[in-house]
Amino acid sequence: MSLKLTILGCHSATPRVNAHPTSQYLEINNRHFLIDCGEGTQRQIRKYKIGFSKIDHIFISHLHGDHFFGLIGLIATFGILNREKDLHVYGPKGIKELINMQLKLSSTWTKYTLIFHELTSKKSELIFEDEKVTVHTIPLHHRVYTNGFLFREKEGLRKVDLSKTVLYPEIDTCDYQNLKNGKDFVLENGTVISNKTLTKNPNKTKSYAFCSDTSYKPDIVPIIKNVTLLYHEATFLNDREDLAKKTRHSTAKQAATIALNATVEQLIIGHYSSRYKDITLFKKEAETVFPNLILAEAGKEIKI
């Protein structure tokens, strides 16, 4: 099991030469997800050599331009590349109408099937699940309906403890799969050897919580408790807490407080306001509360 996050963009408001709006590419347990799609995302995907064909699920946190204006371009490019696989888009109610109107008025049609999963719930809900990963929403508080997303690996198979199985000659390699699946082993004389005696716990699962634009919202802490990696927006420093509250954004200190209270393993902060020319100020402020943190920067990869 593994987790790798690539930051494609991490600044707020308008894109600039060296400041790209929000987008991230997540690889978790051999699954590939695009999170938000600000303007220019597909160029960032090419720049950092991410395979277009790997993206089958796109999660949009909210309908502000710096989080989804790149989506229509990416959808059109998939068509130019003769994509055939279905593409799933998860986002607020209205995203289907927005994209379909753009496709219609530009006479752009996809040969592949575009499937929208529109979100309206203000409570955390399961929106994606397969045999390896689940995705839940994280209800946030912004100027428009907004969700973060919680990605979790499912627990893997147990690991056969060869130092224990060798004590029982009746156990053959063909029995290992049953042991990995958690089954006990029954000897020919009827004695039951418990699975925990013969196996070790599976690898610890990993999780990633993406908290997009939001005011300080302590009630998300139970949802993201103990996650491996948390991204939390930090648009302002504490000197502009009044402005953060007014615009429903967070400060670096507030993001760090959420990480501390949720006992996450590692924090990433981003979505910096353009009024700050030195982003290291965000790190200095946040690490006074939660020291194990990373500053988001375009092209940065976080591997766990």
* Residues labelled as active-site residues: 66
List CB contacts of 281: < 8 A, sequence separation 6 or more.
237, 252
Provide the H-helix boundaries in 159-289.
Answer: 162-165, 176-180, 195-198, 221-224, 241-247, 252-261, 280-286
Q: Which residue has the tokens 């407080």?
A: 257
**Residue among 53, 5, 42 nearest 20 (CA):** 42
Please give the Cα distance from 136 to 252 (Å, whole number). 24
* Alpha carbon distance, N-terminus to C-terminus of the chain: 9
Asked if residue 135 lies in contact with residue 151, where contact means CB atoms within 8 angstroms, the answer is yes
Q: What is the DSSP letter of 55?
A: -
